[in-house]
Structures are given as C-alpha cells and as structure tokens.
Amino acid sequence: MTVDSSALPFKPDPGQFFHIRCAGTYSPFLRRPLSIYQIHEHTLEFLYVVKGKGTTAMTRIRKGDTLDMMGPVGKGFELYKQAETVLLIARGVGIATLAAVAQAAFQQKAHCVAVLSARTEEDLLAAEYLEEFGATVYKVTDEGGTSDVSHVKQLIQEDILPFYKIDSLYTCGSRRLSKLAQSIAFDHQIPGEIALEEHMGCAMGACFACVCDIQEGREKKSVRVCMEGPVFPLEKVVME
C-alpha cells in the first residue's frame, strides 16, 4: 500500500510505524500498527499480510482515498554511520520492517547480509527488494526444512560470520530467531537492535496493552512497545 506522505514535516525513521484506521466505520474498532516498508521522498509504502477483519478492510482502500493514519510513532532503528556490513535476521512480515533498514544501509553505502525465514518460498516477502539494494540474501523455509533454529545458527556461523565482518545486527518477526540473534550478538560482541511486534490498543502509551520487559543492569522493568519502542537494544530485551 503506497501512501502520499508529502504533508509530513519530516521523514520517518526505519522501524517506526503508523497506527492506521482500517475502514471508515467503527468496525473494526481498533487501528492496526503497520511498520514502514519503504521510505521515499513523497510516499511511504506498507507491506502487510491479510489475516483478519482489519487487514481485509484495508484491501478495499482504493487509489485516491484518504487514509486516517497516526504517526510516525515510536523509536526507530539507529543505523551506525560507521557500519560497513550489517546483518538482518527476519521472519515473515518482520522482513517488511527490516526492508527500510536495508534501504537506509544502501543509501549510506553499507552492505546488507540478510537471513530471511518464512513458511514457504512464496512467503519470503521483500527478498527481491532487498537484493535490489545489493543485499546478500539467504532464504530458509519451513517447507524446505531449513528454517529451524539449529540450521539458521549453523548457516550464520559457517557461511556468514567467517566471511563478513558484521558491524551491527537487526532482527524482527520471530521470538526463536530473536533469541538466536541475541546469543550471536553477545557471543561475537556485535551491537544489535530488535523491533518488537505486539498487539496495541491506543499506540499512545495510555492503555499499556503492548508492554514488554527489558533488563536495565540488575533491574527488570516493563516498558511500552509503542512509546519506548518498538525498537530496543537487542541485549536488553527479556525473551523467556
């Protein structure tokens, strides 16, 4: 879905999202948080999977319609200016969230290495888009029997880390892969960030429906994904 964003006073950051009203009625009542897929000079693009009433209603939006959007919301990714090679680890629609990181990396002449995971080959959203930005893409799928954590770990340790000096790591879309990314970042002392996906009510920090836990030193505390996130330092997020 491509939206005219020329009225925005500034460009959003990769990882930020918009809280979008799905239809012109009160059903569905709650908005849907969609991360930004592509950021252009005067347009924004959103990539979403049709799952329920909200996203089904969004498919009926037509060219020329006005969209009720609130945003950009939250804290986005910080792409380190000195980074020459970054590693992206994503599954499912989480790939859409990291696509904007690949775009930003390309613009600052950094190379992306991406591990994309999905149920099927057809579900590997945005793989070709990342390759257009010069990313080296590794695809793993459930149907191909290559998406289990042990295989992805082996892939990263044997086919990626020995050949690329990874300066930073970004992940989104799967708790299993996020835990793997967290351990790889810790073992190899790679700074990393994670975009968390949570169900939201207001996206303004009032309802506390999107709370997660982070570790600050010896203290574990609850934070709101919509306000303090959705992007957090990878080492701080508590993943049970």
pLDDT digits (tens, 9 = 90+) for 44-65: 999 988 888 999 999 999 999 9
Domain membership of residue 30 (yes or no) is: yes
Give the CA dihedral 39, 40, 41, 43, nearest 10 degrees: -90
179-208: average pLDDT: 94
Last residue of a domain, one of 46, 73, 100: 73
Domain membership of residue 134 (yes or no) is: yes
180-190: average pLDDT: 96
131 and 166: one domain? yes
**Which CATH number goes with the domain that contains 168?**
3.40.50.80
90 and 169: one domain? yes
64 and 89: one domain? no
Contact 215, 240 (CB under 8 A): no
Q: pTM value?
A: 0.92
Domain membership of residue 176 (yes or no) is: yes
Dihedral sign (CA 197, 188, 180, 121): positive
CA separation for the pair 182, 8 (Å, rounded): 35
Domain membership of residue 128 (yes or no) is: yes
110 and 57: one domain? no
51 and 143: one domain? no
150 and 171: one domain? yes
Tell me the per-residue pLDDT of 101-122, one tens digit each, with 9 for 90 and over. Answer: 999 999 999 999 999 999 998 8
63 and 91: one domain? no
Is the model's pLDDT at 125 over the cut of 90?
Answer: no
Q: How far does Cα 45 stand from its chain's mean position?
A: 14
Work out how many domains the chain is built from and give that number.
2
For residue 96, what pLDDT is reported?
87
154-177: average pLDDT: 95
**Which CATH number goes with the domain that contains 60?**
2.40.30.10
87: its two tokens: 């590693």
Domain membership of residue 106 (yes or no) is: yes
For residue 128, what pLDDT is reported?
87
For residue 93, what pLDDT is reported?
84
* Strands 192-195 and 211-216, sheet pairing: unpaired
For residue 27, what pLDDT is reported?
81
69 and 91: one domain? no
Contacts of 224 (CB under 8 A, 6+ apart): 205, 208, 210, 211
Domain membership of residue 207 (yes or no) is: no
147-165: average pLDDT: 96
Is the model's pLDDT at 197 over the cut of 90?
Answer: no
Is the model's pLDDT at 177 over the cut of 90?
Answer: yes
Last residue of a domain, one of 49, 73, 97: 73
Domain membership of residue 78 (yes or no) is: no
Domain membership of residue 218 (yes or no) is: no
Residue spans of beta strands (DSSP E) within the chain? 2-4, 17-20, 32-35, 38-39, 43-45, 69-73, 85-91, 111-118, 136-141, 168-172, 192-195, 211-216, 219-224, 231-233
Is the model's pLDDT at 14 over the cut of 90?
Answer: yes
For residue 199, what pLDDT is reported?
87
Residue 51 is part of which domain span? 2-73
For residue 42, what pLDDT is reported?
93
Give which of 133, 130, 88, 87 is closest to 109, Cα–Cα. Answer: 133
89 and 69: one domain? no
Dihedral sign (CA 226, 23, 122, 101): negative
